[in-house]
A and B are shown apart, each in its own frame.
Chain A
């Protein structure tokens, strides 16, 4: 059974003519990475937030099916959704610089995330925060625990954000352009970390990106989106070797040549 299964997802923002997401269907298996690619405004982030039920009130969401681990997410109560967010599906976004509260230490923020999903003592939450920091391979984890976010580099902050996303031991991770704000060497490190974490825990990964180089490196399957619609959805090798849709060919041509997927 798929970890996440989406069928006929439609999202329309109030006051807009065209739907932001139009009849989108896909599924993600445990241990698998599905890449969602497309130009800016094609509805990638909207799809990610729709899955977690986090779109603003003016967005109207419909779907034939939106199921996580066999549980229908549409029509869940706010409390039940809170349990799924972080506890079932973790999410990491683009801008790690502002994804942390400037007034709380790194350890406090991760411990807070732990305690949202596990009824443990403060000391235990702190111990788990430390373990999480080690899991995301932050240098000098013990010392970082008591540091404030502004003392950390962008890459470290993104690691902290990933640690927070993992605090609830989710089975799936949605990563919305997790490396766009970082410089190139750090990007590669964070992507490797995501891949390793995925392999360790058998996470299902929904990777949102417009970087085909990242897709080639990370993804098993690719879904190409434009104007909220799915143009094609295929295994990554097939897509790179024989793109079917003209738009995909255009995308591939616009991207510096990538060799065969690593």
Chain B
């Protein structure tokens, strides 16, 4: 079970994400200005002014500052929503797959119900009802993304439930709840972990899509909210949309590379992990 150290996509993805992550963490060191403060003349193009090398938006807010601080919010929403999605899907999938019978029937009907709803619209409605804040965005995204994880975890739990070590655990007197916790969850976690990078990418994209539609937390800057703000001047000052757009593109692409490499490694179906 060695990591594929030679894998180029793995390195490329990991380095790219590391750079973005470090920039996000070091935001106060990297940039001098508050991303929401109006610090210069509006509509400065990138390269026009050395003090604001990526330019300013229509209100004179520094775009470099926005990108760096926006990384914090976008990554945070992506990570939190990704983890919530994975945990929710894992819990529901494992319960359904392990217990089977009516528990499985009930949980899978609910899962299907969530799956047939157009997920972006469902998230949109949730966020409109709850009000656009970072935590409600996380909730709204996780609430619609979990069914795929649940299906994966269910299949895994079903396979595990038939394995001899689960029967062996019953034979030594382990309760069903403990078996679920000790044997099923950790084993079903592997393929779900392999999906995590993809879930984070999905969450970042969804946040951006919602922000483009005007649903973003007004108190913080995210890449999505920058795109949303730049939308009105797209024809004259396209760089305001293009810069955060590129940031999202690189982040999601890096997540995709990393996720693919990790998936090859962690997914037991491909015989990677003994």
Do A and B come together as binding partners?
yes
A contact residues vs B (CB 8 Å cutoff): 52, 54, 57, 78-79, 81-87, 90-91, 93, 95, 98-104, 112-113, 116-117, 148, 150, 161, 164-165, 167-168
Which residue of B173, B178, B182, B187 is within 8 Å of A84 (Cβ)? B173
In the complex, the answer to whether A87 meets B173 with C-beta atoms within 8 Å is yes
Q: Of A79, A103, A165, which one neighbours B172 at CB under 8 angstroms?
A: A165
Contact A93 B175 (CB under 8 A): no
Chain A residue at minimum C-beta to C-beta distance from B101? A57
By Cβ-Cβ distance, the 6 closest A-B pairs, closest first, are A86-B172, A86-B173, A85-B173, A98-B164, A91-B171, A82-B173
| Total B residues in contact with A, Cβ cutoff 8 Å | 18
Query: A82 CA to B171 CA in the complex, in Å?
Result: 8
Task: Name the contact of B165 in the complex, choosing from A83, A90, A99 (C-beta under 8 A).
Answer: A99
CB A58 to nearest CB in B, in angstroms, measures: 11
How far apart are the CA atoms of A102 and B178 in the complex, in Å? 17
B168 touches A99 (CB 8 A): yes
Instruction: Verify if B219 is at the interface (C-beta below 8 Å from A).
Output: no
Set of chain B residues within 8 Å of A148, measured between Cβ atoms: 274
Check if A103 sits within 8 Å of B173, measured CB to CB: no
Q: A101-B187, A103-B187, A112-B182 are in contact. Are A93 and B173 (CB under 8 A)?
A: no
Does B170 count as interface, using CB distance less than 8 angstroms?
Answer: yes
Of B167, B172, B187, the residue contacting A113 (CB under 8 A) is B172
What residue of chain A has the Cβ atom nearest to residue B182's Cβ? A112
Residues of B within 8 A of A98 (CB): 163-165
B271 contacts chain A at the CB level, 8 A cutoff: no
CB contacts (< 8 Å) of B171 on chain A: these are 52, 54, 85-86, 90-91, 93, 165
Residue contact A82 to B175, C-beta cutoff 8 Å: yes
Distance, CA A82 to CA B165, complexed state (A): 16
Min CB gap A29→B, angstroms: 22
One digit per residue, 1 when the CB lies within 8 angstroms of any chain A CB and 0 when it does not, for chain B 144-180 equals: 0000000000000000000111011011111100100
Contacts of B165 in A (CB 8 A): 98-101
Cα separation A154 to B186 with both chains bound (whole Å): 24
**Bound complex: CA A83 to CA B172 (Å):** 9
A190 to B269, CA, bound (A): 32
Instruction: Give 9 A-B contacts (CB < 8 Å), ordered by A residue.
Output: A54-B167, A91-B171, A99-B164, A101-B183, A101-B187, A104-B186, A113-B172, A117-B173, A165-B172
Q: In the complex the two chains form, what is the Cα distance from A85 to B167 in whole Å? A: 12
Q: Is the CB of A90 within 8 A of B168?
A: no
- Asked if B172 and A168 make an inter-chain contact with CB atoms under 8 angstroms apart, the answer reads yes
Which of B168, B178, B187 counts the most A-chain CB atoms under 10 A from its CB? B168
The answer to whether A83 and B173 touch (CB under 8 A), given A93-B168, A99-B164, A99-B168, is yes
